[in-house]
Structure 1
Amino acid sequence: MESGWSITRAAREVGVNRRTGLDWCRGVRKVNNTRIHPGGRVVDSGAAARYLTSMTGPAEVVISDRYLCLDERLAIADGLINKLTLTAIAAGIGKNKSTVSREVRAHSIEGLYLPYQAHRDAAAARARPKASKLVTDAALRDRVELGLERKLSPEQISNRLVKDFPDDESMRVSHETIYQALYFQARGGLKREVQTALRTGRTRRQPQRQPGQRRHRFVDEMIMISERPAEAEDRAVPGHWEGDLIMGENNQSAIATLVERATRYTMLVHLPGGHDAEQVRDGLIATMQTLPEHLRGSLTWDQGSEMARHKQFTIATDIAVYFCDPHSPWQRGTNENTNGLLRQYFPKGTDLSVHGPADLEHVAQELNARPRKTLDWDTPAERLRDLLTT
């Protein structure tokens, strides 16, 4: 951040959550579920509201940093009395200026901001869990259960209630409330025997998404190939690699292949323990760490599940991983071509686990000793040697 990076970029670089990075910048310490601010304020992310005793007396427990605490409201009142600007007050308590502005506007009476009254009003207005309408209204619940037994959908039930009871506002329930009662035990209210009455037969809810919105492939955010630097795209700078797995019989065994885009130099990664995300991560880390730093620029891979630990690989090797678009093997054309050559040594439908590290090294050396037309009939080994000796 001292170099001008944003907090988001800096946090991603060192492999931590953005909020953790903000805490470090603000001097906030985290102990289990408790976050301790430099000024002594304690933020407890648990639901329990309690006071902790310290050297300076009881410290207020705040549900979340999203909410102003009493100390911050008192600081706002002091700032207004001393005629400080809202910007200065916000900076003093570590909040945005708009937060302070809304607070003062909402809790001022005849131009006077009252911090204790504001704190009580905010606590009273905060949302509280309440029982589902289907739990508290027996007549409405019976009507919904009747509809489900007739194989009506929640949306049909909700809209039919308006027609059947036009003058009874108590006989109103949204289809979302019915779904909540069906799918979530905490919402409850409906008989167990009608919980399988939906036409889909599902007893668990499926996540919804907007049209055109893609699901995230991995927990860690992917960097797509469109963001890969131009130097990797035009092969002007060496050190940018493409990778993939070649699979054995019934997908029971695999070998990871790595090809350097500028020199076409190939490395093969032995995966004796399987080809899940952890095994592939460890194998790639061990192989890439044998390279000098200037040959560790980036790695391009498809969206296979074996790269689910790509963030950990990047942290260990300082190599950014870029992912191809779905069903786009041409975006890793060099690697695809090399995999075709490797099938001369590792035919499809064979058990690849019989090949040990020495076998893989022998095959890689043979492949790297082949003259290539695209290299003006130099070999990949010669091109890599030139890079290492210059």
Structure 2
Amino acid sequence: MGVVMAGYSIYVRPDLLQLFWAGMQAGDFITDAVVPINTSRRTGRRILMEAGGVRPRRGRYLKGRCLTFGQREEVAVLRAQGCSLRQIGAAIGRSASTVSRELRRNTKAGSSYRATSAHAMAYERASRPKPAKLHTNLVLRGKVEDDLKKKYSPEQIAGRLLVEFPDELEMRVSPETIYQSLYVQSRGALKRDLTLCLRTGRAVRHPSRKTGQRKNRIPEMINISERPPEVADRSVPGHWEGDLIIGKGNQTAIGTLVERTTNYTMLVHLPDGYKAEQMRDALTAKIKTLPDALRHSLTWDQGIEMQDWKTVKVDTGIDIYFCDPHSPWQRGINENTNGLLRQYFPKGTDLSIHSAADLDWVAAELNDRPRKRLEFRKPIELIEGLLLQ
């Protein structure tokens, strides 16, 4: 039935799914939107992809006559305790007849009443989808498909139908219906391939956000454009670029720090994960191993792991700047170094199995490797004198 949660599909819990969609519509990232439903980012992305990025109507305005999952759990507990229908109804604020109907309809044959299976049965019974207009009206669907292939937008198609068929109500369709028929494949109308004809060409619909609505995961970050000129020309050592290399299932990571002038590399051990507080403590400890002369600046991408950057700055005395979104070239040396590190830490592997000593050994080997950019000198040769200060 799809994504499994608490022993059954999360799709039978429209109340939970709506919490996720409300977060996405409010401007949350997937990572933040899945927090209220206690699941992973991967699950959130799957929910988003399977729905085509379109928030479902189901569960958005739950009717008061429908029992909630919590009420069904209470019914199961009280039923197991031998309470009467009236006692159960009083406990959940419903009539005895409602409880009786619930037990009769949603108890699997040969077993006792269980909240999970009862909720799933009620969900399936309530599914009475109305056929999409573009699914039942073949003439209208053909017209819409032809116009999409001409690169017309849904708004242009809907408007043109009014001009060409002013007296035929059956030949009218809203832009939103066209979008939903494209992105929500369960409606069985337009083929997903036709999304390529839209201006964006997206296979998944993105939430519409007003300017400034999207939450900034990193508070009051300082943009890379504000770095001093000496960082760009690499004339002064002590300016670093940082990032993470991610392991199997996005569950583990290693922090990477590369000095811009010498290519000297340090690796940050993150055995317990890479949440903000874990990254803060590990990064601070690693930077403190450097002499003050090598603590000028650090440039990072806008990853959520750097939420506590201000604490790192105060504790280490290093200035921290952030790249523009989707601009890895602004940390080019770090990106190239991460590519070299994949020789030691292949993609799709568990990075938590490597000890701090393992990481130090890999960094030492990389720093002893001659580099063409350095005229085949080694990073350790260029920085060794500064490290001893």
What TM-score comes out, normalization by structure 2 length? 0.45
- Counting strand residues as a fraction of each chain, which structure ranks higher? 1
| Larger RCO (alpha carbons 8 Å, 6+ apart) | 2
- Counting helix residues as a fraction of each chain, which structure ranks higher? 2
What TM-score comes out, normalization by structure 1 length? 0.45
